[in-house]
Amino acid sequence: MPRLSRRFFLAASAALMASPAFAAKPPGEDADVIVIGAGAAGIAAARRLAAEKIRVLVFEGSDRIGGRCATDTTTFGAPFDLGAHWIHNPDGNPLLAGGAPAGLDVYPAPRWQSVRVGPRRARDAELELFLAAQVRAQRALREPPKAKGDLAADRLLPHDLGQWKPALEFMFGPFATSKDLASISAADMVRTAERTGDSFCRQGYGTLVATLAKGLTIKLSTPVSMIAWGRSTVVETPESLWYPRAVILTASTNVLAGDDIEFIPPLPKNVKSAIANLPLGSLDHIALDMPGNPLALQKDDLVFEQATSDKTAALLANVSGTGLHVISVGGAFGRELSANGEAAMLDFATTWLSNAFDTNVKRFIRKSRVTRWNAQEFVLGAMSAAGPGHSDSRKVLAEPLGHIWLAGEALSETQWGTVNGAWESGTRTAEAVLRFLGRGKREEPKARTTKKRKRRGED
């Protein structure tokens, strides 16, 4: 007979154990709903539930709030967004509903781009050709493919991009989605919402997200190790067992695909397949403090190069008017570079910048910091881009498992890979939980239409 594990025994007997002697919860910390993860989706869900006076607890495995949207305010003396930085569609962004929180400065991102051709700035004629190719590529990536079935997104690109093709493949692939276009579903790409503008938060996007978490009960450094979702719902943390009426789980797809959280019973095969079909890509930042504007660029200047391969990057210079310069690398090349360690990433960034600006940038650097999201515990990557043929996997994850609901950017069909998508997913999931608890707005049933019967003799 197979040996029963302690966790299996605890989950199976949870309905009979009103107050386990081996793990007493702290007084006053019972919760109707437990939210797992204090990123954008978790914060949005908890805020919506708290607004309805639902007792809600948020468990976060790491020691900070924000998930993939966090700001480092100590390394440089200026805010450095470790993950998300671009505030997409600010006019309709749910995080800015009612305006930016008090004390935060949100301003429009410049609409210009700088392009380097070898060690010099692109000439006007070259920049015109690049911008025209960019428009054609962007339009093609939004048009449904004529061929039946799903394709890799790179097959949507026009064939007349010429020498600008590698740069545009990087711009719309690794830089925008954390994956190479050849690894992304064309259907997933076509469905993405058009971005009508961007903004930046001078204090950091992560600071904005953390500000919106104020007033919530969030337990940091509290990883969840087990979730039972059968007849009873049980959550295990290092300090206790918890018995909520519902759970909102916002862990990334790469975390869900691992074994850090044990599910009892195991997740259904279709859910496991959907998770596997939405793996996180790779997108990292190498931040350099270079005061005095040594590269003679404007504030928030976005710089690409006329690349000749996938070994390329983007530069956001003089971030919010500071001396901070952030080099972004992603996709398969970025993943390989990150795996080689911080020294290799820093060496690539300084060499790439030096070649692009025909100067030794190392003499300008005062401080540096490198992110490695693929190795970041409780995250393990960047954005959840669906592989070719798997764009419908997001719908599978939207179905509840017993009294457990998933949420996060991976569940957004039109804004995956964005803070907007994560936030809206969290809010939408909270609404579903409120309906389950009998506290939310009921969905109006669709009116049934019936055909009028014809009488005899009527045409």
Whether residues 294 and 354 fall in one domain: yes
> Strand 233-236 to strand 226-229: parallel, antiparallel, or no bridges (unpaired)?
antiparallel
Cβ–Cβ contacts within 10 Å for residue 251, how many?
A: 27
Residue 21: per-residue pLDDT = 39
Q: Are residues 313 and 432 in the same domain?
A: no
CB 44 within 8 A of CB 65: no
**pLDDT tens per residue, range 382-399:** 999 999 999 899 999 999
CATH number of the domain within which 36 lies: 3.50.50.60
Cα(149)–Cα(278) distance, integer angstroms: 18
Within a domain: 364: yes
Q: Indicate the number of domains in the chain.
A: 3
Residue 231: what pLDDT?
82
Same domain, residue pair 101 and 168: no
Distance CA 292, CA 303 (A): 18
Does 453 reside within a domain? no
Which amino acid is located at 295 in the chain?
A: L
Look at the block and give the residue holding tokens 């976005």: 302
Q: Is residue 414 part of a domain?
A: yes
- Report how far residue 332's alpha carbon sits from residue 239's, in angstroms, rounded to the nearest whole number: 39
Q: In a 3-state reduction of DSSP, which class is residue 235? A: strand
Domain boundary among the residues 207, 240, 269 is at 207
| Final residue before a domain boundary, out of 175, 207, 239 | 207
* Distance from the Cα of residue 436 to its chain's centroid: 27
Instruction: List pLDDT tens digits, range 249-282.
Output: 999 999 999 999 999 999 999 999 999 999 999 9
Give the residue from 342, 359, 375 where a domain finishes. Answer: 375
In this structure, are 52 and 172 located in the same domain? no
Residue 54 lies in a domain: yes
* Spans in the chain with pLDDT lower than 70: 1-28, 440-459
**Do 190 and 286 reside in the same domain of the chain?**
yes
Give one DSSP letter per residue of 132-168, joined into a string.
Answer: HHHHHHHHHTTSPPSSSS--BGGGGS-TT-GGGHHHH
- Pair (370, 295) in one structural domain: yes
Same domain, 293 and 365: yes
> Strands 226-229 and 262-264, how do they pair?
parallel
pLDDT at 455: 43
Are 312 and 392 in a shared domain?
no
pLDDT at 5: 52
297 and 190: one domain?
Answer: yes
Could you tell me if residue 415 is inside a domain? yes
Same domain, yes or no, for 266 and 151? no
Same domain for 399 and 320: no
- CATH number for the domain that contains residue 129: 3.90.660.10
Question: Measured between alpha carbons, how far apart are the two ends of the chain, in Å?
Answer: 73
Q: Domain residues for 105?
A: 71-109+198-207
Report the SS3 class of residue 173: helix
Tell me if 262 is assigned to some domain. Answer: yes
Distance of CA 167 to the CA centre of its chain: 23
Distance (Å, whole) CA 121 – CA 325:
18
| pTM, two decimal places | 0.91
Longest dimension (CA), the chain: 94
Q: Measured on CA atoms in the order 425, 401, 68, 437, is the torsion positive or negative? A: positive
CA dist 182 → 143, 176, 277, 388 (Å): 17, 14, 15, 8
Q: Is the peptide bond before 265 cis (omega within 30 degrees of 0)?
A: yes
Asked whether residue 257 falls in the same domain as residue 181, the answer is: no
User: Shortest CA distance to 29 belongs to which of 175, 242, 183, 189?
Assistant: 242
Decide: 78 and 325 in contact? Cβ < 8 Å: no
Q: In what order do the strands lie in the sheet containing 301-305? A: 120-121, 114-117, 301-305, 314-317, 324-330, 283-289, 367-370
- C-alpha 4/C-alpha 20 separation (Å) is 19
